[in-house]
Structure 1
């Protein structure tokens, strides 16, 4: 039998578990096993009982406005084809793409460099 209280589950989750349990019982699975499988399936599909929703902290109006402006600024820069900050984008690139960029700039020793070394070499090469 499944452990724990089912009080935090919604009516829909309880109905779904009951239906799944009945289908397993119809297939000949023992009642305890059918119930355990049913609740495991409900938990897998919905993540468990009702969640308390959110962190409890709301953003201030100023923070929301600032975030919207920043998002709009990034979107406008993207539309204009401007790259993001090169340091940030290089940290997210793969070593292979960094090596390809180093090859294009003809940086010596690139094939034996580690990621951070490639980033530094590319930064120096400008």
Structure 2
């Protein structure tokens, strides 16, 4: 469970984790999905001290409902791809467009 969360977020974490386990995800993957979702919700509601721009500006998971899961719709957003490229330290990312970022990341 993410540090600094309240009882509501703990219940939310357990619910998401249990749902992922019911879908057949491994325990480690279910915990990762739950933690990411709860952390994003905390960021969007101003409950966390730090948050990425994509966490704050993106549509809440409850409204999105899997629209961008896997490669549905248009796949991950430019901001999501850019953040992943930054984390992987891909050089030249600031000059890349969405398609180039996806290609550099192997999506």
- Same fold? TM cut 0.5: no
Greater helix content? 1
Q: TM-score when scaled to structure 1? A: 0.33
TM-score, scaled to structure 2:
0.39
